[in-house]
Amino acid sequence: MRPFLNSCLALVLLTGPVSAHNDPLAWPNPILPQRADPHLTLHTDGWYYFTATVPEYDRIELRRARTLGALSTAEPKVIWRKHERGPMSHHIWAPEIHFINGKWYVYFAAGRAEDVWAIRQYVLECDAANPLEGTWREKGEIRMNWDSFTLDATTFAHRGARYLVWAQSVPERRGTSLFIAPMDTPWSITGRQVLLSQPEFAWERRGHNVNEAPAVLHRNGRLFLTYSASATDANYCLGLLTADEDADLLDPKSWRKSPEPVFKSHPPTSQYGPGHNCFTTTPDGQTDILVYHARNYERIVGEPLYNPDRATRAQVLRWNADGTPDFGVPVADTPRPADTLTIDTRAPGKPISPDLIGIFFEDINYAADGGLYAELVQNRSFEYQPTARTEWNALTAWDVVRRNGATGPVVVADAFPIHPHNPRYVVIEVQQPGGGLGLLNGGFDGIAVHAGKPCDFALWGRQLFTGNRWGNSGALDGPARFTVRLETPAGGVLAEASVAVTGRDWHRVTAVLTPTNTEPNARLVVLCHTRGGVAVDDISLFPRDTFKGRPNGLRADLAQAIADLRPRFVRFPGGCLVHGYGLGNLYRWPDTVGPVEQRRAQPNMWGYYQTMGLGYFEYFQFCKDIGAKPLPVVPAGVCCQNADHQGGTGQRGLPLDAMPAYIQEVLDLIAWANGPTNSKWGAVRAAAGHPEPFGLEYLGVGNEEHITPVFRERFQMIQDAVRARHPEITVIGTTGPFHSGPDYDAGWKLADELRVAMVDEHYYVPPRWMWENLERYDRYDRARAKVYLGEYAAHDDRRRTTLRSALAEAAFLTSLERNADVVVMASYAPLLGKRDRTQWNPNLIYFSNTNVVRTINYYVQQLFSHHAGNEYLPGTLSPATPTGPAGLRAEDGVFLGTWNTQAEFDDVQLLVNGAPVVTDDFAKPAPHWQPVAGRWTVTDGVYRQSGPDEPARSRLTVPPGATNYTLTLRARKTGGAEGFLIGFRARDHANHYWWNLGGWGNTRHAIEKHTDGVAARVGADRTGRIELNRWHDVRLEVAGDRIRCFLDNEPLHDVTDAGFATPRDFAWSAVRDTQSGDLILKLVNGSTTERPLQIQLPGLPGPRSAALTVLTAADPTVANDFEQPDRVAPQTRSLNVTPEFDYAVPAHSLSVIRIPAN
C-alpha cells in the first residue's frame, strides 16, 4: 500500500484554467493558480481526486481528473459548506480526501464564528462510489488527548494499523508540534497521543514556531514523513522525519529528524515558500510525484496567511542511491509559447482624439476644502449648519479661548453681514482682556505648517462698541488689538503676529506667520486684547507656497500630482454635487466667482460644506496652469433623483417660468469664460485677474440624470439655447449612472432624437467586467453621438486600488485608444480622497495634510497620458487571445437570502428541464438547504430567516447538468430594511447572481452579478418595493444564457447574460505620435504568468534603443498606501528593438515601449 497525504493553511482564488494534458507526466506548473494546501488521492478507479482550501474559508470542494494536467480544467464540486455559527463555522482549512474501508472521508480543520482561532479537526463521510455525487455526512470532531489549536490531520495505514498524524499546540509552548496516535475508527483516535516533532531548528522557527502539514510516504523499507515549518511566507519549507518500516511508529525514538530542510525557497526558479505537500504517483504507479504549493514571488504585502497566491504545483520525486528521497528544488513556472504581435508601421493610422485622457474633479472626500483648496482654516466664515450634519453649527471647528483671566461672551450674529451670501459672523465681547479672548481653529484634522515657510493670515472685522456694551457712550477709543498665533497642540508658540481692527465698517486685515518649527497638527489662535465688542468673519490662513504662487490658490503638492498626469481636460465641479439634493442645492456658478467673502457657501451631496473658495475662476485658472481644457458641468434644471432620500423618485425640475433666467445663467457662463474684456462678463473675468478668454469648448449639462419628461424638456431648452447662441460649444448629455439599463437606453434615445453631439457614460465595475468588455466600443455606431466616458473605475475587493484593478483599467484604456474615433474623452473617478474622510472608494490619489499617495491606478492614467498618440495603428496577435468559454455550467447553486431583513419562505419548487427535483412546503426539516449566513429555521411550516445579516443566505445545490431550471416560491417580509435576495448561478460567495427584490432601501428591483466579490447590475432595474407581512409570488427562470424574473406574476426582467465567461487576460494597443514620429506599444498582461511575445514591426527602419516602462508587482492584490506609498511605481530602462524582436511581458503588468523615429 502506498499511503500519501498533506494539509496546511491557505487563502486562494481560482483563476483561468490551463489546458489539460493526456500525458501522465506532462502538466503545467502551476497546475492550479491560487490553490494552496493541495491534497489528492489516486483511486483504484483511475481518477485523481483533488481538494484544497478555498479562499473564502467557507466550504470544501472536490474535483477529479484522469491526469494531473487535467485537474486545471476539472470543474469543482462543493460537497460541504460551513455552519452559520458554532463548530465548523469559520476558517475551513486544509481538507484531505481518503478512501478507507470502502468509504470516502474528508479531514479538515475549522474554527468558530464566535472564536475564529478555536481551530479543531473534523471529519466528513460519504459512501458513494463517486464522492462528487454522493451525500456527505458530518462525523464530528476528532477528540485529541487535550483541547487546543489543532489542524492538518492526515491518516495512513501501516501493517494493519491505522494512524492519525496532526499538528497541535502544546499548553505553555508557542507554536505547533506534530503528534501521532492510533485510530479505532476513521473519525477517532485511541490511546495516548505521542509527540513526534516540535520546532527546534532555526529554520523551523522563522516568523512562527511551526511544525504542521504532515504527509507520509512508504518506500524502500522506510516511512518518510514530511512536514512544513516556519511562517507561511518565503520561509516556509519542508522538513523530514524517517522511520524504519519495522519500527514502533508510536515511539518517538523511532523517528529521525533531518537537521536541514529538504525542500525550500529557490530564487533561481522564482519559487518561494514551498510546502504543505502530499505524495502521489503516475497512474501506472511507477513514478512518485511530489505535490505542493508555492508562490512565484518573495515579497508579500500584509499577513502571508491572507495572501491568495500560493499555487498547486507538482514535480517528479527522485530517489538517491541510499533509498532516501531527493526532493530537488522547486521547478520554475512552465513557460508558455510565444505569441506573435504584428504592427505594420507603414500602415495609415486611425485618428485618436487629442483630448482622450483627462481628469474629473468633484468635491467629494474633502477633495476641495481641506484638500486641493489650500485654505487651512475650517469653517472660516461660520456658515456650517445642521443641513450638512445634524451635529454641526456656525461654531463647528472653532473653540472659544479665554486666556489668563479673560472674560466675555463669544456669539454668532447675522444682523450686519459682510455680504448677503455670507450671512453669519462672530461677535467677541471682551469684558476683561486678561491674556486674550478669542477663537481657536484646528483646521481640517490639524494645520500642517513647515519651518520657515510663511503663511498668510487674513481676517475681516469691524468694531461694535467700546467697554461695557450698555454702560458706555459707544465712542470708539481705539482699535481692537489682536494677537494671532500658530501653536502646537501643547500650546507652544510656532509663530505670532499682531493685527488691529479699526472702525465700524467691515475691512480686511492681514499678517504673515512664519513657523519656527514643522508641526503637522498646529492650531490657529486669534485673541482680542481690547475691551469692547468686535465682529469677525472670514478668518483665513493660506500657505504662501501655493501652486504657481496663486493667491487664494491650490495646495502645491496635491496640484502638482494632478498636473503630473498631464490631463488633456478637467471636468468640474461634479458629479452628483452639481444637481444637488434639492432645487435649492443646485451648484450655481455665479455664486462661486468674485471676492471669496462674497461667495455663497453651501452643503454638498457628500455631507459637508463647500466654501466655494475653490470656485469657477480657480477651476478655469488651474486648467490654464496645467494646459488642460476646461469642461464645466452645469445642472440641467433638475435636482438629483435621489434627493431627500427618495430612492430614485426625488427628481424635481425648476419651474418652467424660471427656466429663461436659468438658461441665461448658462449662457452667461460661456460669456464669462470666452467673452472680451469690454463685455459684462468678460470684465468680471478680467477683474479677477485673467483678461484673456479661457477658450471654453465643452459644456456638460446634467449628471447621471433619471431620463424623465421633466429632465428631457429642460435639457432640450438648454441645448437649443446654447446651440443657437454658441454653435462652437459642444454640449454633452447624460446617459445615467450605469453602462446599461433604462436610463442608459433612454439617454441614448434622447441623444439620437435631439442630435446631441456627445453623451456622458458612467460605470463602476469589477475588474473582470473591463476584461470581458474590451470590444464594447468596437460595436458602437459611428454615426451616433460621440462618447465621453466621464466616470469609470474598476472596483476590486473591498474597493481597494489594487494592481489587479489598475491593470483592468489599463486593458480597457487600450480599447479606448482603439476606438478613440468614438470615445473622445475619458476620466477616472473620483480623483481625490482624504485619509479618514472618504465617502467613496476607490480614488485615484489619496492624501493627508502632509502626504500624497499616488495609487497604482494613478500610474496607469499617467502612462497612458504621457504616451498618448494621435494615430492608432492596426495589428494582429497570433494566436488571438480568445474570450474564454461561456460561463454557463452545471451544478451551480441557487439560494434564498435577505439583506438586513427578516423574511419567511414557503412552497419552494425547483424544476430542472421541466421536471420537479425539489419541492418544499417546510412541513418537516429540510436538510438539503445549507445555511451560509443568517438565522435559518424551519418553523410553523415556513423557512424563516430572523437575523440581521448583510446578506443572509441559505443555499440549495442545483442537480448535475442543470443549466435550464425554474425556481418558484412564496416569500413574506416580516421586518427589516429591504426585501428578498433570490440567488442563482451561485459558484461561491464572491461569484454569483442574485435577483435583488426591494433593494436600495426597498426602492427598486434589479439583477446583480457578483464577480470576484464586486457587484454589477445586469439589465434594467425596476422601481418597486416589498410590502411588509404580505406573501409575494416569486418566479425565476434560467434557460441557458437567458434570465427571466416575475414578481406576483408580473414580468420584471428579461435579460441575456453569458455567465462567468473566462475573460481575456491580455490586451495591447499601438499608437503613433506624429509630432515626434515615435511608435508606442502598450501591453497589458493580467495573468499570473509572463507572456512571451515575438513583436514584428514591418517598416521599422533598422534597430532602435527604445524606452521600456513597466508597472508590475508579483502580487496583483497589492496597493499603494500611506505606509508604503511607492510600493508599486513605473520603472523605466532602455530596450533594444529591431523590426522583429522578442519581449516577455511580465505577469501582472503594464509595459509601455516607446520606439523613437530616429
- Length of the chain as a residue count: 1158
Say what the pLDDT of residue 58 is. 84
Lowest mean pLDDT among 74-83, 675-684, 1007-1016: 1007-1016
Domains of the chain: 36-326 (2.115.10.20), 357-364+551-860 (3.20.20.80), 398-545 (2.60.120.260), 893-1056 (2.60.120.560)
pLDDT of residue 551: 95
Share of the chain above pLDDT 90, in %: 78
CB 12 within 8 A of CB 34: yes
How far is residue 1110's CA from residue 1129's CA, in Å, rounded to a whole number? 8
What is the structure's pLDDT at 441?
Answer: 98
887-922: b (≥16 Cβ within 10 Å) or e: bbeebbbbbbbbbebbbbbbbbebbbeeeeebebeb
- Cβ atoms of 789 and 823 within 8 Å: the answer is yes
Q: Rounded to an integer, what distance in angstroms lies between the CA atom of residue 363 and that of residue 372?
A: 9
Residue 1059 or residue 220, greater confidence = 220
143-185 confidence digits (pLDDT tens): 999 999 999 999 999 999 999 999 999 987 889 999 999 999 9
- Greater confidence (1158 vs 90) lies with 90
For the stretch 515-545, pLDDT in tens is 999 999 999 999 999 999 999 999 999 999 9
What is the mean pLDDT of the segment spanning 895-920? 92
Higher pLDDT, 426 or 642: 426
Is pLDDT at 687 greater than 70 in this prediction?
A: yes
- Asked if residue 929 lies in contact with residue 894, where contact means CB atoms within 8 angstroms, the answer is no
* 260 noted as active-site residue: no
Percent of the chain whose predicted confidence (pLDDT) is above 70? 95
The grid coordinates of residue 357 equal: 485622457
Q: Among 15-29, 450-464, 477-491, where is mean pLDDT lowest?
A: 15-29
**Nearest CA to 1013 among 836, 787, 797?**
797
Give the type of residue at 79: I
The mean predicted confidence, pLDDT, of the chain is 92
Instruction: Write down the pLDDT at residue 1011.
Output: 82
Catalytic residue (choose from 704, 772, 791, 809):
704
Output 1040 or 1080, whichever has higher pLDDT. Answer: 1080
Question: In this structure, are strands 991-998 and 1004-1011 parallel, antiparallel, or unpaired?
Answer: antiparallel
Contact 381, 597 (CB under 8 A): yes
Which comes out higher in pLDDT, residue 222 or 991? 222
Mean pLDDT, range 880-897, rounded to an integer: 61
Say if residues 375 and 540 touch (Cβ distance below 8 Å): yes
**Beta strand residue intervals within 237-364, DSSP E:** 237-244, 256-257, 272-281, 288-295, 311-316, 318-319, 325-326, 339-343, 350-351, 357-360
| pLDDT reported for residue 334 | 87
CA 1049 to chain centre: 38
Whether residue 383 has pLDDT greater than 70: yes
CA distance linking residue 851 with residue 835, whole number of Å: 10
Angstrom distance (rounded) from CA 29 to CA 18: 9
pLDDT at 5 exceeding the cut of 80? no
Q: Which of 86-100, 253-267, 589-603, 979-993 has the lowest mean pLDDT?
A: 979-993
Tell me the backbone φ, ψ of residue 744, rounded to 5 degrees. -60, -50
Q: How far apart are CA 30 and CA 291, in angstroms?
A: 10
Query: What 3-state DSSP class applies to 694?
Result: coil
Measured CA to CA, the distance from residue 158 to residue 163 in angstroms comes to 8
Q: Is the pTM of this model over 0.85?
A: no
Predicted pLDDT at 8: 30
Are the CB atoms for 33 and 294 separated by under 8 Å?
A: no
How many C-alpha atoms does 96 have within 13 Å on its Cβ side? 33
Burial class (CB in 10 A: 0-12, 13-18, 19+), 479: middle
Helix (H, G, I), strand (E, B) or coil at 998: strand
Task: Quote the pLDDT of residue 1155.
Answer: 97
- Which residues, at least 6 apart from 1046, have a Cβ–Cβ distance to it below 8 Å? 1033, 1034, 1035, 1036, 1037, 1052
Q: Are 1112 and 1148 in contact (CB under 8 A)?
A: yes
Residue of 470, 466, 469 lying closest to 531 (CA atoms): 466
* 248 confidence band (pLDDT: 50, 70, 90): very high
Per DSSP, 1113 falls in state -
Contact status, residue 486 vs residue 398, Cβ threshold 8 Å: no
Taking the CA atoms of residue 888, residue 890, residue 896 and residue 898 in that order, the dihedral angle to the nearest 10 degrees is -30
pLDDT interval class at 648 (50, 70, 90): low
Asked if 74 and 50 touch (Cβ cutoff 8 Å), the reply is yes
| Helix, strand, coil share (%) of the chain residues, nearest 5 | 15, 45, 45
Q: Residue 393 in 3-state DSSP?
A: coil
pLDDT (0 to 100) of residue 22? 59
Query: Residue 1011: which of 730, 711, 772 has the closest Cα?
Result: 772
What's the chain's Rg over C-alpha atoms? 34
Q: What is the pLDDT of residue 994?
A: 95
C-alpha cell at 126: 460519504
Angle at 88 between CA 85 and CA 92, to 5 degrees: 120
For residues 868-891, average pLDDT: 70
